[in-house]
């Protein structure tokens, strides 16, 4: 049964529809879809290692495009509801998010924190759009690259690496990067 299931995934991962499905999943996940694109990204790279860079770039671009849509939704939701809520009570949150949003966007793009929440919140708080896009490209691209590289390089062993080291890869590495950036900025 498991071998039959694996064969079906292999065939689907190599089909001409694999990349468009990945694009659609990556795009929708950044707005509303609950399934992360990793679930499609991993088998596509596993069964088609020669196209791993194309697959990573595809996943990153469509994920960030969906994040931009999420940002815009958040931006316009604020304008629609600001008449009905006390914006003054939200000013502390908005100030905090705009001050620390760089960390939020980077972590949201890299970690299992739902990126869609970060995209909507960034738009809602009117976080700098260009900075949002740059940080999203960096964090989503780095996340998908690490996953793709590990799968391409190590195959089955790579899948086990990802399963056993989620905390290290998706929480500690981004925190280390943020700390490094902070140190570089504070000493500049």
pLDDT tens for the 188 residues of the chain, in order:
556 656 677 777 788 888 999 999 999 999 988 888 988 899 999 998 999 999 999 999 999 999 999 999 999 987 777 677 766 667 777 788 888 888 888 888 887 788 999 999 899 888 999 999 999 999 999 999 999 999 999 988 988 888 888 777 777 777 787 777 777 666 76
In the chain, how many domains are there?
Answer: 1
pLDDT at 3: 64
In a domain, 141, yes or no: yes
Q: Which residues lie below 8 Å from residue 48, measured CB to CB, with a gap of 6+?
A: 13, 14, 18, 55
In a domain, 1, yes or no: no
In a domain, 86, yes or no: yes
Q: How far apart are CA 78 and CA 72, in angstroms?
A: 10
Q: How far apart are CA 113 and CA 77, in angstroms?
A: 21
* Residue found by looking up tokens 């960034």 in the block: 122
Angle between helices 18-29 and 38-47 (to 10 degrees): 160
3-class secondary-structure state, position 86: coil
- How far is the CA of 3 from the CAs of 8, 18, 115, in angstroms? 9, 20, 33
In a domain, 2, yes or no: no
pLDDT at 163: 80
For residue 156, the enclosing domain spans 8-186
pLDDT at 41: 92
pLDDT at 96: 80
In a domain, 101, yes or no: yes
* Residue found by looking up tokens 């590495």 in the block: 173
pLDDT at 122: 93
pLDDT at 39: 86
Q: How far apart are CA 146 and CA 70, in angstroms?
A: 24
In a domain, 103, yes or no: yes
Nearest to 134 by CA among 53, 188, 55, 64: 64
């Amino acid at each position: 049964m498991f071998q039959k299931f694996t064969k079906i995934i292999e065939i689907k991962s190599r089909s001409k529809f694999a990349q468009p499905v990945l694009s659609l999943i990556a795009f929708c996940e950044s707005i509303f879809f609950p399934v992360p694109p990793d679930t499609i990204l991993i088998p596509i790279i596993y069964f088609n290692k020669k196209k791993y860079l194309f697959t990573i770039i595809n996943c990153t671009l469509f994920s960030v495009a969906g994040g931009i849509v999420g940002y815009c939704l958040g931006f316009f939701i604020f304008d629609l509801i600001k008449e009905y809520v006390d914006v003054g009570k939200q000013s502390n949150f908005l100030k905090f998010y705009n001050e620390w949003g760089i960390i939020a966007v980077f972590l949201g793009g890299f970690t299992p924190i739902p990126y869609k929440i970060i995209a909507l919140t960034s738009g809602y708080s009117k976080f700098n759009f260009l900075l949002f896009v740059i940080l999203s490209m960096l964090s989503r691209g780095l996340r998908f690259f690490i996953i793709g590289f590990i799968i391409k390089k190590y195959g089955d062993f790579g899948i086990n690496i990802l399963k056993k080291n989620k905390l290290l890869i998706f929480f500690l590495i981004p925190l280390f990067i943020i700390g490094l950036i902070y140190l570089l900025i504070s000493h500049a």
